[in-house]
Amino acid sequence: MDVTFRIRRYNPEIPGKDKPHWQEFKLSDVEPTDRVLEMLHRIKWEQDGTLAFRRSCAHGVCGSDAMRINGVNRLACKVLVRDLGNRIQVEPILGLPVLKDLIVDMEPFFEHYRAVMPFFVNDTPLPADGRERLQSPEDREKFDDTTKCILCACCTTACPSFWANGKYVGPAAIVQAHRFIFDSRDLAGDDRLDILASPDGVWRCRTIFNCTPACPRDIEITKAIGEVKLAIRNGSTEGIIEVRDIKHEA
Amino acid sequence: MSSLVLTITETLRYRGALGQWSWVLHRISGLGVVLFLTLHVIDTSWSVFYPALYVKAIAVYQTPLFTIGEFALIAAVVYHALNGLRIAILDYRPALWRYQARAAWIVLGASVLLLIPVFILMFGHVLNFYNDPERRVLPFADVLESQLPFAVGIVLAVVAGVLYSGIHGVIAPRKETPTDNMFRRPVGSRWEKFWWSYMRVSGFLIVPLVFGHLAMMHVIQGVFDITAADYVTVGTNVVNQTGTSVEFVANRWNYLVGGIAVWRLYDIALLALTVIHGFNGLRYVLTDYTADSTLIRRGMIYTCIIGALILLMVGGLALLGTIDQTAIRMAEEAVAKLHP
């Protein structure tokens, strides 16, 4: 099949191309099962070597090729052409400064990520046998969903609150915080809840639900944010996640 | 400002699901309702303080522009109420998120279903009025002119808010988001936590109060019946003998059940809950789009505080005031002067 790509271009180094603009590329012999990332490669390799985009693993694991594809945030490596039709529009994710073409500056995003202390905190002595800190399967399940985040920024840059205000910590950072806040072995939950209770923390979430469908890992993001809000309101994580709420993957 | 433009254009371009459009409608309907609330509290207070002005205000409400506005208002309130319930329930029970899209459709459908009979009844009042050969409608120019003071007042509140913000900036040392020294991290805000709960809890309380109020003032009796003589004032057993809007208010506020002025209490609860809910919502909207400038963002917060305080004061004093025979006589004179 023939596919027309419409790509948002921007190159600050070349006069005449230093304003964001659209450029069309035509591709033939496209298989319906081809992924958008492969098509971007073909454009770059066969038609225009200056096209700039990020990708690393190309298999939906590293999270570096988040883009707005036909209006919604996706990973270019996880979207098939057959799910998009023969006119495909690609532009950078929104709310982060565009550096070149489809590449955005992720630093503000990672700054929010670092702000929520996304690391395990527990300075108490190890158990007597010197091995791991044990946890019941039920307690492990409570944050299972939020361990899946790959920091691709699809959710955060799908959020109208983040578009409006880049200081908002954003869905991804809250998901990352959720992973530790609801971990029974971690001891810094109160600190994280305090960070997220700041004016630019969870309160900027208006329960819009743009983040949840944007997630390429199917994390129940708005639910996780809601659980963090309730934990802040209650001053405790007790009783917020009931294990029967957790879906068991077959 | 740039973030507002960006958010509007990109919200139109981003192919978000229904939840995104629910949020857009929630914001627009909320802004519309808070604008009307501002006009409504101030001009209702005139029934106590300036009966002649109140007569004029109700005459303005009976013009085509405001009739269209009234239908929009009812639609906005109904949608905002039902969608607000959806948001609050999902916030309190995050595990129900799977039903959010279905709930958003139900909110839309329920709004339409509820509005159909309501609009039919309201339209009945409109037809009734326009079938009356003795109907008196204020000229359009008068209507616009009567809204000028409100426009000026709103501009003044914004200017005052930004001015306060400037003074605040000069007096108070410049302080970014408070940070904890050890981690250099933001610190939790008890206020925002309170407001988050307030918006949801007050929402649950406001919905029955506002629906009751709208049913009485727009559906059972409409704006046109307020000035109809020999009507029993809604919610009371007292006849509006002079057929003036001032007597209508007096009948309601002076109506006692077991020695208690029930409609005054009702209106006090309505005033306090809706004004604080409305202006905090306005603060959410305004601060979302002014994050880039401390001066403007803080100014918007001051504007909301000023607006809420003025409405609470003016409305509260009116609700504690008395409407006596002199006021009703003044209203009668005003009617005579308004429609010579």
- More confident call, B52 vs B172: B52
Q: Does residue A71 form part of some domain?
A: yes
Nearest to A54 by CA among A107, A111, A63, A46: A63
What is residue A250's predicted lDDT score, i.e. its pLDDT? 45
Q: Which residues of chain A have pLDDT under 70?
A: 244-250
pTM for the complete prediction?
Answer: 0.94
Q: Nearest to residue A156, comparing CAs of A228, A199, A219, A241?
A: A219
Helix (H) or strand (E) segment spanning residue B71: helix B64-92
Question: Tokens 């506020």 identify what position?
Answer: B253
Strands (E), B82-178: none
What are the chain B neighbours of A210 within 8 Å (beta carbons)?
Answer: 14, 16-17, 19-20
Q: What is the Cα–Cα distance from B60 to B144, expressed in whole angstroms?
A: 9
Q: Which of 118-157 (A) contact B at CB < 8 A?
A: none
Q: Do residue A16 and residue A76 come from a single domain?
A: yes
Beta carbons of B13 and A198 less than 8 Å apart: no
pLDDT tens readout for residues B2-27: 788 888 999 999 998 899 999 999 99
Quote the CA–CA distance of B198 and B204 in Å, as a whole number: 10
Comparing CA positions, the residue from A207, A213, A227, A171 lying closest to residue B22 is: A207
What CA–CA distance (Å, rounded) separates B65 from B143?
8
A221 and A120 both lie in a single domain = yes
- Residues A8, A88: contact at Cβ < 8 Å? no
Half-sphere exposure of A110 (CA within 13 A, CB side): 6
* Domain count along chain A: 2
Min CA distance, B43 vs chain A (Å)? 32
Q: What are phi and psi of A202, to 5 degrees?
A: -60, -20
In this prediction, what percent of chain B has a pLDDT beyond 70?
Answer: 96
For residue range B29-53, list pLDDT tens digits in order. Answer: 999 999 999 999 999 999 999 999 9
Which positions 210-249 of A are in contact with B (Cβ < 8 Å)?
210, 212-213, 220, 222-227, 229-230, 232-233, 242, 245
Domain boundary among A42, A71, A104: A104
Q: Do A161 and B288 touch (CB under 8 A)?
A: yes
Residues A73 and A93 sit within 8 Å (Cβ to Cβ): yes
Q: Which pLDDT band holds residue B177 (cuts at 50, 70, 90)?
A: low
- Which of A40, A74, A104 corresponds to the end of one domain? A104
Q: Are residues A158 and A231 in the same domain?
A: yes
The pLDDT of residue B17 is 87
In a domain, A171, yes or no: yes
Determine phi and psi for A90, rounding to 5 degrees: -125, 130
CB contact under 8 A, B192 and A199: yes
Q: Of A46, A74, A104, which closes a domain?
A: A104
* Mutation target among A94, A96, A208, A245 for the B interface, most CBs of B within 10 A: A208
> Which residue of chain A comes nearest to B293, CA vs CA?
A165
Between CA B69 and CA B77 the distance in angstroms is 12
What would the DSSP string read from start to end of A170-236? Answer: HHHHHHHHHHHHT-TT-S-HHHHHHHHTSTTTGGG-----SHHHH-TT---HHHHHHHHHHHHHHTS
Q: Are residues A178 and A222 in the same domain?
A: yes
- Mutating which of A163, A175, A228 best tests the B interface, going by the most B Cβ atoms within 10 A? A163
> Are A182 and A66 members of one domain?
no
Strand partners, A98: A104
B113 in contact with chain A, both atoms CB, cutoff 8 A: no
Mean pLDDT value of segment B156-175: 89
Whole-number pLDDT of residue A203: 96
Domain extent at residue A23: 3-104
Closest CA to B246 of B38, B69, B59: B59
Question: Is the residue at A227 inside a domain?
Answer: yes
Running DSSP on this structure, what letter comes out for residue B183?
Answer: T
ipTM of this complex: 0.92
Do A89 and A154 have their domain in common? no
Size of the A and B interface in Cβ pairs below 8 Å: 132
Q: Is A173 a member of any domain?
A: yes
Whose CA is closest to B224, among B54, B62, B52? B62
- The mean per-residue pLDDT over the stretch B291-316 comes to 95
Q: Give tens-digit pLDDT for B208-247.
A: 999 999 999 999 998 999 998 888 999 999 999 999 999 9
Q: Is residue A165 part of a domain?
A: yes
A101 interfaces chain B, CB cutoff of 8 Å: no
Mean model confidence pLDDT for chain B:
92
Any A CB within 8 A of B145 CB:
no
Summarised one tens digit per residue, pLDDT across range B261-298 is 999 999 999 999 999 999 999 999 999 999 889 999 99
- Are B94 and A223 within 8 A, CB to CB? yes
Instruction: Compare CB distances from A223 to B15, B95, B284 and report the shortest one's residue.
Output: B95
What mean pLDDT do residues B291-307 have? 94
Lowest mean pLDDT: which of A33-47, B90-104, B145-159, B223-237?
B223-237
User: Could you read off the pLDDT of B108-124 as tens digits, one per residue?
Assistant: 999 999 999 999 999 99
The answer to whether A226 and A181 are in contact (CB under 8 A) is no
Q: Higher pLDDT residue, A49 or B182?
A: A49
Task: Please tell me the distance from the alpha carbon of residue A95 to that of residue A115, in angstroms, as a whole number.
Answer: 18
Same structural domain for residues A128 and A20?
no
A250 in a domain, yes or no?
no
* Co-location of A148 and A36 in the same domain: no
Question: Is residue A174 domain-shared with residue A189, that is, in the same domain?
Answer: yes
Q: According to the model, what pLDDT value does residue B135 have?
A: 84
The CATH number linked to A17 is: 3.10.20.30
Does A192 lie in the same domain as A148? yes
B101 close contact with A: CB closer than 8 A: yes
Contact A160 B23 (CB under 8 A): yes
Q: Which chain B residues are within 8 Å of A79, Cβ to Cβ? A: none
> Sign (positive/negative) of CA torsion B258, B260, B266, B267?
positive
Instruction: Read off the pLDDT of residues B48-62 as tens digits, 9 standing for 90 and up.
Output: 999 999 999 999 999
Q: Write out the H or E segment, with its range, that includes residue B209.
A: helix B190-214
Query: What residues of chain A lie within 8 A of the CB of B188, using their CB?
Result: 193-198, 201, 232
Instruction: Classify residue A95 as left (phi > 0), alpha (psi -120 to 50) or beta.
Output: left
Is the same domain home to A116 and A97? no
> Is there a single domain that holds both residue A122 and residue A168?
yes
Contact A223 B15 (CB under 8 A): no
Task: Please indicate whether, in this complex, the C-beta atoms of B187 and A222 are within 8 angstroms of each other.
Answer: no
C-alpha to C-alpha distance for B248 and B4, rounded to whole angstroms: 43
The model's confidence at residue B172, banded by pLDDT at 50, 70 and 90, is confident
| Whether the Cβ atoms of residue A158 and residue B16 lie closer than 8 Å to each other | yes
